[in-house]
Structure 1
Amino acid sequence: MKNLFKSIALIAVFAILITSCSKKNDQPADQEVKTEQKDKVLAYIKNLGFTDAQIVDKGDRYVVDGDMVVDKNMEIPADNGMPKTEQYYNGYLVTNSNNILVKVDASITSMAAEINAAIAQWNAVPNSKIKFVLTTGSTYDILIKVDNTIGASVCGQAYLSTSNGKAGSVVWINQALIQGNSFAQRTRTITHEFGHTISFKHTNQSTTINVPGVGGTDALSLMNGGQCGSGATVLSAKDKLATAALYPL
């Protein structure tokens, strides 16, 4: 979380189409497709205002500004990721928002209390149908797990919601980094990352898709980036308004 986006408790689309202008004649056709798709996604991220320094290549995905994870095979949104002027989210809403199944990996069962507290915050948002539900079954929407290798100053990472209406599939928590934080701050990390899975981006991010009717900055937003261990520990009034605006009852 410590290098998070900058925008309001919300989300924002990534997109810009670009074709590959130089390919080796002996390059396999399938590799050409993979390279072209990778270039499109990279260009799309940069079109939102992010620099090379903020984008890390992790093989089959990019990690942007510390904790936002984007698959290289993502579908490029129809509006090509052009910045809007309202409030921030990634443009992809979760279809089963009233029953998002979360599975707790064995690696993070010691943080069950923090996970429960984070889920309770999202589920209690007034006038919103968002509901995270814990499951132990083999079918789930989100897997939350420990990954202490995601970065020396990165408290957590998560996939954003996808173009097919699914929640971001994985949340990674750097337990080794946050274990010395207070219970409230550990819960904040998990709550923040869950926010990304349902399309919210960083409230203090400047180039993303805005949530209609919920504008302006919000120093109290739990979805502000770069505040792991020191930021707001509860969803702000605007965080809740934005959630209700995107996922109304």
Structure 2
Amino acid sequence: MKKNMLVAMAMLIAIAFVACKKSADAPAEPQTARTEQAQKVYSYIIGLGFFAHTIVEHPNEFIVEEDIIFPKNMKVPDGKVSTEQYYTGSLVSATNVTNIRLKIDPSMTSMTSEINSAIAQWNSVSGCTIHWTVTTGTSDVLITDFNLGSGICGQGTFPSGGVAGNLIRINKAYIAGNSFAQRARTICHEMGHNVSFRHTNWSAIGESSATPVPGVGGTDASSIMNGGQCGSGATVLSTKDKQAAVALYH
């Protein structure tokens, strides 16, 4: 009897060992697939000409070329991207562009002067209907402080559904040591993304293809929309920046 009990116990231990080993060697559970909406946004980004390797996926958004935000719940424009819609295939509507309401998060109030300087740049483009206002109530765009790590000054969101991109993130601690003009430049640059502009120097910095604004082609070393120039770029809208703004919003 005792011998039979020992044999039975040995068999149970062997079975338990095999079961544990099988569990350890089992394939990992597959990751949850993207929702249909998220996949639609991803396909839209690819359709704009962005390279897949420049797209970083987060739970609620895609970040492209380090400083452009695509929320997964964004309204994806219908139809094919047209040439006139230079960077995104989606412009701010004629009604909304004349009063883009910007709300300053409490985390950014210390840079209110820089924000106002950036606003003045866009609002002063002759013949262009882009007009920003600061609001404490209902807003179209929120500007907030966000730790983006080293090397990234800010991020902006492209427009969708006829309204300006709804978020600007500024890496406030990272740009704190820059000059006033350079801090305002960072904000002005991200505001450009909010109304559809991509990086003017996309080719030089190895980014994906882009279609020139009609009538305003070519490179522009003085463009405030040049990427990869955190703390060292042009601090005012160039002649071509202004021409492009007028071409898209006149």
| Common fold by TM > 0.5 | yes
Aligned with 1:195: secondary structure?
helix
Shift in alpha-carbon separation, 1:44–1:98, aligned structure 2, 3 A:
closer
Name which structure has the greater RCO, CA cutoff 8 Å, separation 6+: 1
CA contact (8 A) 2:86 2:196 kept: no
The aligned counterpart of 1:94 is: 92
The aligned counterpart of 2:6 is: none
CA contact (8 A) 1:87 1:215 kept: no
The aligned counterpart of 1:210 is: 212
CA contact (8 A) 2:212 2:218 kept: no
Q: Which amino acid aligns with 2:249?
A: Y
Cα distance in structure 2, aligned partners of 1:46 and 1:78: 15
Q: Which amino acid aligns with 1:124?
A: S
What's the CA shift string for 1:109-141, capped at 9, x where partnerless?
00011000000000001111111001112x111
Shift in alpha-carbon separation, 1:78–1:208, aligned structure 2, 3 A:
farther
Cα distance in structure 2, aligned partners of 1:226 and 1:90: 20
Aligned with 1:158: secondary structure?
strand
Matches within 5 A, 1:133-172: 133-137=133-137, 139-148=138-147, 150-162=148-160, 164-172=161-169
Aligned-pair CA distance for 1:50: 1.4
For the pair shown, which has the larger CA radius of gyration, 1 or 2?
2
The aligned counterpart of 1:50 is: 51
1:234 and 2:236 equivalent? yes
- Between structures 1 and 2, the one with greater helix share: 2
The aligned counterpart of 1:78 is: 79
What's the CA shift string for 1:143-167, capped at 9, x where partnerless?
111012x2321100111111x1010
The aligned counterpart of 1:3 is: none
The percentage of aligned residue pairs carrying the same residue is 53
Q: Which amino acid aligns with 1:142?
A: V
- 1:195 corresponds to which of 179, 188, 192: 192
Cα distance in structure 2, aligned partners of 1:147 and 1:127: 34
Cα distance in structure 2, aligned partners of 1:45 and 1:165: 17
Cα distance in structure 2, aligned partners of 1:89 and 1:195: 11
What's the CA shift string for 1:199-222, capped at 9, x where partnerless?
111111241343111111111100
Structure 1 runs (4+) greater than 6 angstroms displaced? none
Aligned with 1:63: secondary structure?
strand
Q: Give the superposed CA RMSD.
A: 2.1
CA contact (8 A) 2:85 2:248 kept: no
Structure 2 residues not aligned, in runs of 5+ = 1-29, 204-208
Cα distance in structure 1, aligned partners of 2:155 and 2:110: 18
Aligned with 1:172: secondary structure?
strand
TM-score (norm 1): 0.78
Cα distance in structure 2, aligned partners of 1:38 and 1:131: 31
Q: Which amino acid aligns with 1:50?
A: F
